[in-house]
Amino acid sequence: KDSLLIETLKPAAIFALKNSNAPYSHFHVAAAVLGASGRVYTGVNVENASYPAGICAERNAIFHAVAEGEKEIEAILITGCDEEGKQAYCPPCGVCRQVMREFADPKKLKVIVLSEEGEKIYTLEDLLPDSFGPEKLQV
Ligand code: THU
């Protein structure tokens, strides 16, 4: 089942990677999200001359999914590379982990990170234990 997920998300992320806009860090990242509807969404890191205005690939992919109507995500695959196209390991940053938390059950969301050794498969719970999510706000 995980192999099917990887077969679905990996080509989408690798295809998107060429669109990463990283003229400052030269660290290119792409992510592919599987929404609950079964549709796949991609995102890349988009940097800015005003550095903090840039955004990570993971958040870009998740916000893309949400903009297209998804309320829940089931999996996210992340890949990175350097300027020469050499695979770079890119586990998601803390802010992106928190954004994943907003749209997924931490025990169910699969976070797949590509590396030169293959794929690492986590649940969001592994990466963000005892997390703060929407159900904690009684509003
Ligand atoms: N980056 C991501 O896109 N995802 C991560 O999880 C970590 C970092 C991007 C942000 C910035 O454009 C570049 O990688 C270097 O930090």
For the CA of 56, the closest atom of ligand 1 is 3
Angle at 27 between CA 109 and CA 8, to 5 degrees: 35
pLDDT in tens, 13-29: 999 999 999 999 999 99
pLDDT, tens digit (0-9, with 9 covering 90-100), for 42-93:
999 999 999 999 999 999 999 999 999 999 999 999 999 989 989 999 999 9
| Residue 96 token pair | 């992106």
CA distance 73 to 25: 28
- Write down the catalytic residue from 47, 58, 70, 74: 58
Q: What residues are in contact with ligand 1 under a 6 Å CB criterion? A: 22, 25, 27, 29, 45, 47, 54, 56-58, 90, 92-93, 96
Q: pLDDT category, 1, cuts 50, 70, 90?
A: confident
Whether pTM exceeds 0.85 = yes
- What atom in ligand 1 is closest to the CA of residue 25? 15
What are the tokens at 58?
Answer: 């993971």
Q: What does the CA dihedral 30, 62, 64, 58 come to, rounded to 10 degrees? A: -20
47 labelled catalytic: no
- Distance from residue 111's CA to the centre of ligand 1 (Å): 16
Give the C-alpha separation, 94 to 61, whole Å: 16
Contact 136, 129 (CB under 8 A): no
* Residue linked to tokens 């990463």: 20
Q: Residue 33: pLDDT band by 50, 70, 90 thresholds?
A: very high
Rounded to whole angstroms, the Cα distance separating 73 from 37 reads 9
